[in-house]
Structure formats: C-alpha cells, structure tokens
C-alpha cells in the first residue's frame, strides 16, 4: 500500500497534469480514496511529528511528542476536510457546478500530496536548519493549475480563478488551524 502511495505522490509532483488526468478516470468506491491516500499520509505526518521530537529535543518527552502529534493530526485533518468543504461550496456558488464533495475531497487530497510530503520531512528535520524547504509548498499552486482542467474539468476561462481559490484553501487552512491551536490551546505549544 505504501509503495503505491509513494508512486502516486511522486507522479503527482513530477507530472501533475498527466497524473491527475489519469486519476480522474480511476474509479473509486465510497471512501476508498481516503483510506488509500489521505489517511496514510496524515498518519505518516502524525508519526513524523511524534518521531521529530526524538530528533529535535535533547531529552525525549512523551508529553511533548504527543502534543506535537495532536497538533499535526488536527491541523492536517481539519485543513483537508475544511478545504474540501469550502471548495465544494465555491464549486457551486462561484463556478455554477453541482456540489460533489467526493470529487472535491479527491482533488484536495491529490493536490496536497507535495505539501503532506514536505510536512513529513520538515517535522523530522530541525526547522531552523531547513526552513527554506517551506517555499516548495508553493509548488502546490502549480499542481492545482495543472489539475484544474483534466481533473476538475474547469473551463479555461475560469482556470486562474479556480487555481487561486483552491490553492489558498489547500495551503492556508492547515496553517491557520495550526496557528489557532497554538494560540488557543497553550498546552499544545510545541
């Protein structure tokens, strides 16, 4: 399962338009996409947050590791589901399409592949030494741009508008949730 997951993540990052075109033809039943793609990636993010405490701290603290894991889990899950929900709402109101939450979830999940991968790496590495890697999260905008037409079938005239809205939702919502957790729950400050 993880080999297939890695294969799809690499394909999405290296050839987003072609890969998302192929994935749009792939039949998935029910929540199969979530259990085969999103949940394993978010699980890896949570494990990386826990293990990252081992590499970043001089002394291992289970409490600190759990706090880090909880923050990563909530911000990843919340960001994914909120981005899919809001994209679905905009899909109807701004683009005049029928609501399809499953389609929006798949698009947000596939478009977030690089962001999830970078989050895993950044949680394992000392942030102060590798902060510049966060810039590569902006490549998500290109993935959304390339996937808008073949996957979501957005008309060319609305492609830029869709890309801006979807990219802001996908990139910003996990960060906003993480920031809110940091501000509202002092016990989760890591």
Lowest mean pLDDT among 46-55, 56-65, 172-181: 56-65
Is it the case that residue 174 has pLDDT exceeding 70?
yes
Average pLDDT score over residue span 35-52: 92
Q: What is the pLDDT of residue 189?
A: 58
Q: What is the pLDDT of residue 170?
A: 95
At 127, the pLDDT band (50, 70, 90 cuts) reads: low
Q: Is there a domain that residue 130 lies in? A: yes
**Rounded CA gap, 81 and 42, in Å?**
12
Average pLDDT score over residue span 111-121: 92
Q: Which residues are CB-neighbours of 91 under 8 A, at least 6 positions away?
A: 97, 99, 100, 104
Residue 139 gets the label, from left (phi > 0), alpha (psi -120 to 50) or beta, of alpha
Q: Is there a domain that residue 97 lies in? A: yes
Q: Which tokens go with 182?
A: 């940091």
Do 108 and 85 form a contact (C-beta atoms < 8 A)? no
Q: What is the pLDDT of residue 128?
A: 63
Q: Is there a domain that residue 66 lies in? A: yes
Do 127 and 55 form a contact (C-beta atoms < 8 A)? no
Q: Is there a domain that residue 67 lies in? A: yes
Domain of residue 144: give its range: 2-10+29-183
Q: Is there a domain that residue 82 lies in? A: yes
Is it the case that residue 190 has pLDDT exceeding 60?
no
Q: What is the number of structural domains in the chain?
A: 1
**Rounded CA gap, 111 and 85, in Å?**
15
Q: Which residues are CB-neighbours of 117 under 8 A, at least 6 positions away?
A: 9, 13, 41
Q: Is there a domain that residue 150 lies in? A: yes
Handedness of CA 129, 132, 136, 137 (dihedral sign): positive
Q: Where are the alpha helices (DSSP H) in the chain?
A: 2-14, 16-25, 32-33, 39-56, 62-93, 101-111, 113-124, 127-130, 139-148, 159-184
Count the Cβ atoms, other than its own, within 10 Å of residue 75: 25
Average pLDDT score over residue span 67-75: 91
Is it the case that residue 62 has pLDDT exceeding 90?
no
Instruction: Give the number of C-alpha atoms closer than 13 A to the C-alpha of residue 73, restricted to the C-beta side.
Output: 13
pLDDT above 90 covers a percentage of the chain that reads: 43
Q: Is there a domain that residue 188 lies in? A: no
Is it the case that residue 74 has pLDDT exceeding 60?
yes
Whether the full predicted model's pTM is greater than 0.85, yes or no, is yes
Is it the case that residue 75 has pLDDT exceeding 80?
yes
Average pLDDT score over residue span 149-172: 92
Q: Is there a domain that residue 189 lies in? A: no
Q: Which tokens go with 114?
A: 């690089």
**Rounded CA gap, 58 and 61, in Å?**
9
């Amino acid at each position: 399962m993880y080999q297939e997951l890695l294969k799809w993540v690499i394909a999405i990052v290296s050839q987003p338009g072609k890969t998302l075109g192929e994935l749009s033809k792939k039949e998935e039943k029910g929540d199969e996409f979530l259990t085969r793609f999103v949940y394993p990636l978010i699980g890896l993010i949570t494990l990386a947050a826990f293990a990252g405490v081992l590499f970043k701290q001089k002394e291992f603290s289970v409490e600190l590791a759990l706090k880090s894991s909880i923050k990563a889990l909530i911000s990843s899950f919340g960001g994914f589901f909120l981005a899919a929900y809001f994209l679905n709402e905009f899909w109807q109101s701004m683009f005049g399409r029928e609501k399809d939450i499953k389609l929006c979830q798949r698009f947000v999940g596939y478009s977030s592949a690089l962001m999830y991968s970078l989050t895993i790496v950044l949680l394992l590495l000392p942030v102060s030494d590798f902060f510049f890697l966060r810039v590569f999260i902006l490549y998500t905008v290109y993935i959304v741009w390339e996937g808008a037409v073949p996957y979501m079938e957005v008309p060319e005239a609305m492609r830029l508008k869709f890309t801006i809205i979807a990219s802001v939702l996908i990139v910003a919502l996990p960060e906003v949730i993480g920031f809110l957790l940091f501000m509202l729950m002092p016990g989760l400050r890591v």
